[in-house]
Chain A
Amino acid sequence: MVCSVTVTVTEAHRTVDAVWRIESAKLIAALTRMVRDVGLAEELAQDALVAALEQWPSSGVPPNPGAWLMTIAKRRAIDHFRHLKMAERKHEEIGLDLETTQQAIEVEPDEVPDDLLRLIFTACHPVLKTEARVALTLRLLGGLTTDEIARAFLVPESTVAQRIVRAKRTLAQKKVPFEVPAGPELAERLGSVLEVVYLIFNEGYSATAGDDWMRPQLCADAMRLGRILAGLAPREPEVFGLVALMELQASRARARVTPDGEPILLLDQNRAKWDRLLIGHGLAALERAESLSPVRGPYVLQAAIAACHARAGAPEDTDWERIAALYGKLAEVAPSPVVELNRAVAVSMASGPEAALPLVDELTASPVLARYHLLPTVRGDLLAKVGRLAEARAEFERAASLTRNARERDVLLARAKATAGE
């Protein structure tokens, strides 16, 4: 059905935006396979988008908008290479000639998933800096504009634009092949892809009240990227682990803040507000991940921890023993003092403060946690519980001196005072 003639230009633009969101990644991926250059592919796709913005408001949206955009972009690609030829550039230089280009420009529908996967691995290639990977992934695969990415990451638009230009140049200069890595390289490269997606998610998850709505929207963008990746790599447990982790975390969105923007802690949240649909989705993804391989990677383990909370109908139903055990496994596959500290808290919830104290004592030597106020906070709490009040007080005071949050500092100082029995 074609849009009625009463449609305004703005409405038509919103429709073009929607089509772009659905089609752009596939379009850029197919074009990259043809022209072997992500930067050029994206320019061609943008040309097609401009043509749509010019024509659709009056002509209506074509019945197959994806194919329409592809046709325009292909024509532009052929024009581009003709132009090069007329300028007597040697095609050997760019490894292309007109005939093979025209042959390549027949898109096989079966190629679409492979092209998309190649595009994801290219955008997240280790030759690029992390921030460039993030920007390029959102631009090429999420269909976001430079302005949207800039707003979401609280940086000037020119910064994002530069990052993207440089990233494309780097990919061209380093001759990064448009391919899915194979063999042992795959796991490592997949790790890089998952890291980028999770970074995007966390950027959205750490948004605060008053932030531009583009920021929390990043959570949705990351979940969508994760789900697309799961469709493209259906046998990779860590992909499903990441999807599960993001969905289980996002399921608590509605319960995480008071109306005036104060954070509500997990055990105080109204669990009736948790999104059951996302929880169901997340648990299913976790089940899928666990059925794919007995080996549990870091994302699957973190998702399993999040699932322990999601499954508990009330805070007192939380299976802290299982959480402690999962943190133990996580410490084996992805050792970090922060994981150890989390494990100590879970152990204290499961088995009491005496069991957790030795773990925390060991961490006091960690340089990574030296300025981390939560270490003395947790240690003070455990010491107070076992009746070592003077030491506990010192820990709370130390934690107060380390935190940057005024409200937190007041609480810690009050706790220090109270612990000494004043």
Chain B
Amino acid sequence: MKFMVLVKGDENTEAGAMPTEQELAEMGKFNEELVKAGVMLAGEGLHPTSKGARVRYSNEGTAVIDGPFAESKELIAGFWILDVKSKEEAVEWLKRAPFRDTEIEIRQVFEAEDFGDALTPELREAEERMRKQVAEQHGQ
């Protein structure tokens, strides 16, 4: 199952403060562990909201509000998408993240179950065209 990990922003991320070399190295090492374990599908850091915008929808139409946004505890400063076996596994991984004074949120991504055919697409395709022709010839 996939989980999205949301890293909360704070005054520092909002001020556009860059991480120190040590923080970068620690985070790099953590990311490398995720990759080597085969669980990392994506992971990015986000610019401060001063470079972003919001679009608000109402009956009157849409309104665009440019950043920065005030409620820094509600903002997202980065994210991962992890492919793991359970919520507990996502939690175990994140316990190892080199964060000190912040909060992250772990959310499950919707997915469909994976079932279906075992034929190669081309053969399936041939069969399908055949079915369609039958249908056409029978005027269905």
A residues apposed to B, CB below 8 Å: 1, 14-15, 17-19, 21-22, 65, 113, 202, 204-209, 211, 213, 216, 219-220, 223-228, 231-232, 250, 253-254, 256-257, 261, 263-268, 273, 277-278, 281, 309, 323, 341-342, 345-346, 348-349, 374, 377-378, 380-381, 384, 408, 411-412, 414-415, 418
Task: Establish whether residues B138 and A257, one from each chain, have CB atoms under 8 Å apart when the complex forms.
Answer: no
Give which listed residue, B38, B93, B121, contacts A223 with CB less than 8 A: B38
In the assembled complex, 19 residue pairs joining A and B whose CB atoms fall closer than 8 Å, in A order, are: A17-B88, A22-B37, A22-B93, A205-B114, A207-B115, A223-B38, A250-B114, A253-B114, A265-B124, A265-B125, A266-B121, A342-B122, A345-B123, A345-B126, A374-B123, A374-B126, A381-B129, A414-B134, A418-B137
Smallest beta-carbon distance A390→chain B, Å: 16
Identify which of A231, A256, A323, A418 contacts B117 (C-beta below 8 A).
A256
Q: Interface centre among B41, B42, B123, B138, by most A CB within 10 Å?
A: B123
B38 to chain A, nearest CB (A): 3
Determine which of A18, A226, A256, A268 lies in contact with B116 in the assembled complex, contact meaning CB atoms within 8 Å. Answer: A256
Interface presence of B74 (CB below 8 A): no
Cβ-defined partner of B114 (8 Å) among A219, A345, A377: A219
| Residue from B114, B119, B123 within 8 A of A204 (CB atoms) | B114
Q: Provide the bound-state CA to CA distance between A268 and B117, in Å.
A: 13
Cβ-based interface call for B50 (8 A): no
B81 within 8 A of A: yes
Q: Interface residues of B toward A: which range?
A: 35 or more
Residues of B within 8 A of A (CB): 1, 35-39, 41-42, 81, 83-86, 88-89, 91-93, 95, 111-131, 133-134, 137-138
> A-B pairs with CB below 8 Å: how many?
150
Contact B115 A257 (CB under 8 A): yes
- A202 touching B134 by the CB < 8 A rule? no
- Cβ contact within 8 Å between A411 and B123: no
Question: Shortest Cβ distance from B36 into chain A, in angstroms?
Answer: 4
A17 / chain B contacts, CB cutoff of 8 Å: 86, 88
Helix, strand, loop or mixed for chain A's interface? Answer: helix
In the complex, A227 Cα to B83 Cα: how many Å?
11
Q: Closest 8 CB pairs between A and B?
A: A227-B38, A256-B116, A266-B121, A18-B88, A253-B114, A224-B38, A18-B89, A231-B36
Residues of A close to B81: CB separation below 8 A: 277
Residue of chain B at shortest CB distance from A308: B121
CB <8 Å contact, B133 and A415:
yes
Residue of B nearest to A345 (CB): B122
Contacts known (A18-B92, A231-B35, A277-B42); A206 close to B118, Cβ less than 8 A: yes
Q: Nearest-CB distance from A290 to chain B (Å)?
A: 20
**Contact of B133 with A418 in the complex, beta carbons under 8 Å:** yes
Contact of B126 among A225, A263, A377 (CB under 8 A): A377
A18 touches B86 (CB 8 A): yes
Q: Answer whether A346 and B122 are a contact pair too, CB < 8 Å, given A265-B128, A277-B41, A281-B41.
A: yes
A220 to B128, CA, bound (A): 29
Alpha-carbon distance between A202 and B118 when the two chains are bound, in angstroms:
8
Q: Give complex CA distance A263, B114 in Å.
A: 11
Q: Is the pair B92, A254 in contact by a Cβ cutoff of 8 Å?
A: no
CB neighbours (8 Å) of A216 from chain B are: 113-115
Nearest-neighbour CB distance to chain A for B1, whole angstroms, equals 8
Which residue of the partner chain B has the closest CB to A269? B121
Given known A-B contacts A254-B112, A411-B131, A18 and B85 have beta carbons under 8 A apart: yes
Closest to B83 in A: A220
Pick the residue among A22, A223, A225, A345 that contacts B89 (CB under 8 A): A22
Besides A21-B84, A231-B35, A418-B138, 18 new A-B residue pairs in contact (Cβ under 8 A), listed by A number: A15-B88, A18-B85, A113-B36, A204-B114, A208-B115, A209-B113, A216-B114, A227-B39, A254-B112, A256-B114, A263-B116, A265-B121, A266-B125, A345-B123, A348-B126, A349-B125, A408-B127, A418-B137
Q: What distance in Å separates the Cβ of B34 from its nearest Cβ neighbour in chain A?
A: 10
A265 to B88, CA, bound (A): 36
Q: Considering the chains assembled together, what is the distance between the CA atoms of A19 and B41 in angstroms?
A: 20
Say how far B120's CB is from chain A's closest CB, in angstroms: 5
Task: Please name all residues of chain A whose beta carbon is closer than 8 Å to the beta carbon of B37 when the two chains form the complex.
Answer: 22, 224, 227-228, 231
Within the assembled complex, what's the spacing in Å between the Cα atoms of A216 and B116?
10
For the complex, give the distance between the alpha carbons of A206 and B115 in Å: 7
| Residue of B with least CB distance to A11 | B88
Q: Pick the residue among B42, B116, B123, B127 that contacts A257 (CB under 8 A).
A: B116
Q: How far is the CB of B70 from chain A (nearest CB, A)?
A: 30
In the complex, residue of chain A having the shortest beta-carbon distance to the beta carbon of B131: A411
Cα distance A205–B85 in the bound complex, in angstroms: 17
Instruction: Known A216-B114, A415-B130; judge A309-B86 contact (CB<8 A).
Output: no
CA distance A309 to B129 in the complex (A): 17
- Once A18-B89, A342-B122 are accepted as A-B contacts, the answer to whether A211 and B115 lie under 8 Å apart by CB is yes
| Cα–Cα distance between A339 and B86 once the two chains are bound (Å) | 38
Contact A381 B41 (CB under 8 A): no
